[in-house]
Amino acid sequence: MRIDSIAKLSQWRQECQAKLAAQKRKVLVCLGPGCLAGGSDEILEEFKRIVAEKKLADISVEAVKKTGCHGFCARGPLVVIEPEGIFYSKVKKANVAEIVETTLEKGKLVEKLLYTDPRTDKTYTDYKEIPFYARQERISLRNVGQIDPDEIGEYVARGGYAALAKVLTEMKPQDVIDAVSQSGLRGRGGGGFPTGRKWATCAREESDIRYVLCNGDEGDPGAFMDRCIMEGDPHSVLEGMIICAYAVGSREGYVYVREEYPLAVINMQKAIDAAHECGLLGANILASGFSYDIKISRGGGAFVCGESSALMRSVAGEVGEPRAKYIRSVVKGLHDKPTVLNNVETYATVPVIMEKGADWFRSIGTEKSTGTKAFSLAGKVRNTGLIEVPMGISLREIIFDIGGGIPDGREFKAVQTGGPSGGCLPADKLDLPVDFDTLTRAGSMMGSGGMIIMDDRTCAVDVARYFLNFLVEESCGKCVPCREGLYQLHKLCVKICEGKATENDLALMERLSKVIQTASLCGLGQSGPNPFVSTVQYFRDEYLAHIRDKKCPAGVCRELITYTINDKCTGCLACIKVCPVDAITGEKKKLHVIDQEACTRCGSCYAVCNFDAVDIV
């Protein structure tokens, strides 16, 4: 069906809404990355099979839907029953028959699958009341986890493409740019550059061709917001891109998706095809005379390709090496033409701003960081998952109120934001408001939104070593400060982890960091030393413990620790069974002993012991 007028779009929307309204009951099965790892695809099939078999009055097979990431990954696989919002967590395939019988047929709850907050012992039925969800405000994630990403009709029913229709009929390109500028929207990919200013610069450039690209190369380890948007609500990204293309006068563009996200590629392609078929993408969109087309460009698994100039080279089929920044890509980008490159989340936000207005967007967040930001919570935090919160919320609220704090009775140590370019912030920074400028001042950065929480069993030096190793592998090798500097920095960091370093090495690392930051060509090198700089700033004592005392206080660096069993050992044999190298000997109900020569310090025994009988020294 081709939608060639605004009237037809409205009519279609009403039809889609009527179709959804006719589905009295809906079962939403989360197929986000976390739930999928828990086998939610099988749960979906099982629901469809049983619902088809039983021929229930209130629910049809079509009303059993897959969705993108619902957010609360720690409790996955998740199943939500609408309209009540009944939230079943940690669902197994074997529970499906019971859910159908108890909830769908009899209208009762399956109590054992409901979520209970471990801090308050309160059990929740409706997910919207769970603290994890209640504190959030979702703009870019508005549809993720709520709709079937393969059904353009569901996006349209929830107001999708209404912003595009408004833009094409009521606004001039300059009006769009002005609205984005006034909204204060800043790039969600990490840089925080004002989006409106970027668009305005591109539109001003004299050129026959302009490109509008989307950066879906979410390379920061520990970040999965963009993945979830591309997989769970691909049309919101397309709509944002089409609006941008109209504003800057572009006729073609690309979505650059990293190769580690195969499902994102599939879902984005399906969305592009569906939008084409309806006349919402391609030639003469909504019969407005405006044409714009989008292709997908798959990345090749290189972190540096998240950098704008490297990404554009990669789209052109080249090796992804960045170039010097004095020529900006907004002036000379892809094929040397003016190019707007924004991140997935930024585009997904644009349609909402167009619909509700710049003032509405400005009313959320802080003065200089307006709106909301999506984060992925991971690491040593109870409620791992995908969230979106207003800017200006404190780290404490994110980690403790939404994230549920640190599991296993451990202490909070630091939160890592901004990926390899960011840094670690310690406990005394927990009350900082989360916005672009505050986090940068504190020595980290907002980044794309990955938040890794660390407890007292995480070693700051090891974290720095990890990121430096990552960057050494991902440095494209073009400029010397980054290629050789990070290599040396990593080598020195390994020396500290192994207990072989001196304080001179530490001083050398600090000097070297300054050189790398100043002299590198692109953002990767310039921010490369940050993981070291921020950890040494906040956890210098820990570095010194490695150097002076040859100790790793967190018990992580293998060369500096030994595992021993104390007399709390009950002789339960659990550690003997899990030891992968058979280094533990002992009999039932007798004290076990670790053979230090054979021990590889893998920590399996420590993890499995229920009696605190394994010490790390």
Partner 1 sequence: MTRQDLTKLTAIFDHYPTDAGSLIGVLQDIQREFHYLPREAMTKTAETLGVPLSKVYSVATFYNAFSLTPRGDTIVRVCKGTACHIKGADLLLDQLESGLGIKPGETTEDMKYTLEVVNCVGACAMAPVMIVNNKYHGNVACNRALKLVKKD
Torsion-angle region of 159 (φ positive above 0: left; ψ -120 to 50: alpha; else: beta):
left
Q: How far is the CB of 530 from partner 1 (least distance, A)?
A: 13
What is the closest distance, in whole angstroms, from the C-beta atom of residue 296 to partner 1 in the complex?
10
> Which positions ≥6 away from 261 have C-beta within 8 Å?
216, 218, 227, 230, 231
User: Rounded to the nearest whole angstrom, what is the least distance from the CB of residue 453 to partner 1 in the complex?
Assistant: 9
**Binding flag, residue 254, partner 1 (CB under 8 A):** no
Please tell me whether residue 261 binds partner 1 under the rule CB under 8 A: yes
Note whether 409 binds partner 1 by CB under 8 A: no
Taking CB under 8 A as the rule, does residue 416 contact partner 1?
Answer: yes
Which of 282/603 has CB closer to partner 1? 603
Strand ranges of the sheet holding 79-82, from the earlier edge strand across to the other edge: 64-67, 26-30, 79-82, 86-88
Give which of 196, 269, 191, 190 is closest to 230, Cα–Cα: 269
Q: What angle do CA 446, 447, 449 make, to 5 degrees?
A: 85
- The dihedral region occupied by 272, where left means phi > 0, alpha psi between -120 and 50, and beta the remainder, is alpha
CB 157 within 8 A of CB 11: no
73 interacts with partner 1 by CB under 8 A: yes
Dihedral, 165, 169, 172, 177 alpha carbons, nearest 10: -20
Residue matched to tokens 């200013």: 197
Residues 472-511 as x/- pattern, contact with partner 1 by CB under 8 A: --x-x-----------------------------------
Residue whose CB is less far from partner 1, 42 or 82: 42
DSSP element (H, E) containing 152: helix 152-157
CB of 548 to partner 1, least distance (A): 25
Interface residue with partner 1 among 68, 145, 184, 219 (CB under 8 A) is 219
User: What is the per-residue burial (b if ≥16 Cβ within 10 Å, else e) of 522-534?
Assistant: bbbbbbbbbbbbb
Applying CB under 8 A, does 606 fall inside the site for partner 1? Answer: no
Helices 234-248, 344-356: axis angle to 10 degrees equals: 70
Instruction: Say whether residue 131 binds partner 1 (CB under 8 A).
Output: no
The one segment of 14-22, 121-129, 166-174, 256-264 that binds partner 1 by CB under 8 A: 256-264
**Cross-strand partners of 387:** 375
Strand positions, DSSP E, 117-246:
123-124, 211-216
How many residues line the site for partner 1 (CB under 8 A)?
61
**Smallest distance from the beta carbon of 317 to partner 1, in angstroms?**
4
Closer residue to partner 1, CB minimum distance, 352 or 605:
605
Binds partner 1 by CB under 8 A, chosen from 133, 470, 538, 563: 470
Return the range that interacts with partner 1 (CB under 8 A); candidates 102-110, 135-143, 590-598, 601-609: 601-609
Q: What Rg value do the Cα atoms of the chain yield, rounded?
A: 26
260/257 Cα distance (integer angstroms) = 8
- State the nearest-atom distance from the C-beta of 231 to partner 1, in Å: 9
Of residues 570-599, which lie at the interface with partner 1 (CB under 8 A)?
Answer: 578-580
End-to-end CA distance of the chain: 69
Binding of partner 1 by 217 (CB under 8 A):
no
Q: Which is nearer to partner 1, 263 or 613 (CB)?
A: 263
Residues lying near partner 1 in the complex (CB under 8 A) are found at 33-34, 36-38, 73-74, 76, 218-224, 227, 259-262, 297-303, 314, 316-320, 376-380, 384-386, 416, 419, 450, 452, 454, 458, 463, 466-467, 470, 474, 476, 578-580, 600, 602-604, 607
